Structure 1
Amino acid sequence: MIHIDLRGKRAAVVGGTSGIGRATAVRLAEAGAEVVTLSRRAAAPEVQASPEVCARISHKQLDIVDSSQTAEVFAEIAAGGGLDITVHSAGVLAPGQMHDTDDELWHWHMRTNVDGVFYAVRESLRHMSSAGTGGKIVIIGSVSGQVGNAGFAAYCASKGLLINLTRQLALDYASDGINVNSVLPGFTDTEMTDIYSPDVKSLLADTIPAKKWARAEQIADAALFLSSPLADYIHGVNLPVDGGYVAGRPA
């Protein structure tokens, strides 16, 4: 059995206090990494894990759309023992066809889902490149960046940008030993997707070949893999974890 061992590694999980980010922080800590969760929330995430695992998770408050604050926080993390892994899981989701999308809704998605990724990943790359020891960056995107999601124009546009950003960063930093990849979740049960009613969730499940929504832990498993030495030769991959959703529709 292959065992992922991240002892001696330090990880930052942006958006690590809820949903996929929280599950990823736990997975990384279970593998032995020292994890710092980052989010607007002042309190550390409440996690269901052993005391040993919980002790490996600390927290820093961060407004991810604040460029200067992001630079300061990542500098603190790097100065405290280095930075080997960054997982960016923060994001927002709201409905709206294009004709119903006002400037505020559009820019809200772009600030959080695009600018927030840019700031955190840029700082991570700066510290990893300066250290010269490589690293792993995993961006949590969405299959809605690969295929359309009716009624979510701004969200789909923001997530589509991250797919090509992942490829570009892989080209630019692979020679530095830095792996940049993304995970593209399909429909996943988190606090964010509580905007869907139970009836709509059931209807959407029928469009998934696996006939069910993902759990946050299943997305976190993919993020853990891409953060590990098992992914040392994987660069620029946008990995759907979606129950077969982008493969096609069940007849």
Structure 2
Amino acid sequence: MRQIDLTGKRAVVVGGATGIGRASAYALAQAGANVVTLSRRSRAASFDGPSEVAARITHRALDISRREDVVRTFSQLATGGLDIVVLSAAVIEPASAVDADDALWRRHMDVNVDGTFTCVRESIRHMLAAGTAGKVVVIGSISGLVGNPGFAAYCASKGLWVNLTRQLALDCAPRGINVNSVLPGFTMTDLADIYDDETKATIAAAVPAKVWAAPEQIADAVLFLASPLADYVHGVSLPVDGGYVAAGPI
């Protein structure tokens, strides 16, 4: 059986200080990759486990809504080479389409759409310039496939990535770059704090697996798509949701 070995690979995880991004950074480092995490936080995330794994993870502060900073940062990172880029930064705030004001809508678009796209575009440009194969994995959401009442801006921003992942794959597959998305279901990160305990229990009951995901379970899918095991996988948006989407309307 083939094992995932990313020794010597150079990975960047945007939004890598918390939640799914943090778990993904650690999973990549466990597989041997050297990982740079990027987030608005100036301090690096703390990692439990073997010190040699944590030593392969470094951190830089970056606000991806600032286009010039993104371009400059990826140019600097690309000098050492880019093999894997994971996009996990996100904004989520509750508001229906009727209640969402311009500022809330703009915050979602600045990070979830424009900022993430700039990171993806710059990553691919540098991979192409270097003439190397690469893996780009966008963390979307099942909210890009199904509605989530009261989260209009978030659903809109995540829905864009389902189709854009396909288009990017068409552009990049002939050049040896894999672009795919992971669509997490309800996952126990700090973003889950927008729900109270009763709502969390109600949601869990609606998931066929009857539990929320742990960030590490989403990171397992990221690790697969970032690895040579997924060399022939292009343009896929993979739900990792305990069967929520498969169950249909609940």
TM-score, with structure 1 as normaliser: 0.98
Amino acid at match of 1:186: G
Correspondence list, 1:175-190, <5 A: 175-190=174-189
> Are 2:33 and 1:65 equivalent residues in the alignment?
no
Amino acid at match of 2:106: H
CA-CA distance at 1:192 after TM superposition: 1.1
Amino acid at match of 1:142: S
Amino acid at match of 1:181: N
> Are 2:112 and 1:117 equivalent residues in the alignment?
no
Amino acid at match of 2:58: S
Residue equivalent to 1:155: 154
Residue equivalent to 1:199: 198
Distance 1:208 1:61, change over 3 A: same
Do 1:207 and 1:249's aligned partners in 2 also have CA atoms closer than 8 Å?
no
> Are 2:242 and 1:239 equivalent residues in the alignment?
no
1:62-93: per-residue Cα shift (whole Å, max 9, x none)?
A: 011111111111111111x2000000000011
Structure 1 runs (4+) deviating above 6 angstroms are none
Instruction: Give the secondary-structure state (helix, strand or coil) at the position aligned to 1:58.
Output: strand
> Are 2:125 and 1:126 equivalent residues in the alignment?
yes
Percent identity over the alignment is 63
- Aligned residue pairs total 250
Unaligned runs of 5+ in 1: none
Amino acid at match of 1:102: D
Distance 2:67 2:102 in 1: 21
Distance 1:58 1:49 in 2: 15
Do 1:208 and 1:250's aligned partners in 2 also have CA atoms closer than 8 Å?
no
CA-CA distance at 1:49 after TM superposition: 2.2
CA-CA distance at 1:249 after TM superposition: 5.0
CA RMSD of aligned residues (A): 1.1
Distance 2:153 2:84 in 1: 29
Correspondence list, 1:102-113, <5 A: 102-113=101-112
Distance 1:49 1:114 in 2: 34
1:136-183: per-residue Cα shift (whole Å, max 9, x none)?
A: 000000000000111111100000001111000000010110000000
Residue equivalent to 2:27: 27
TM-score, with structure 2 as normaliser: 0.98
Instruction: Give the secondary-structure state (helix, strand or coil) at the position aligned to 2:98.
Output: helix
Distance 2:152 2:121 in 1: 26
Instruction: Give the secondary-structure state (helix, strand or coil) at the position aligned to 2:211.
Output: coil
Instruction: Give the secondary-structure state (helix, strand or coil) at the position aligned to 1:184.
Output: strand
Unaligned runs of 5+ in 2: none
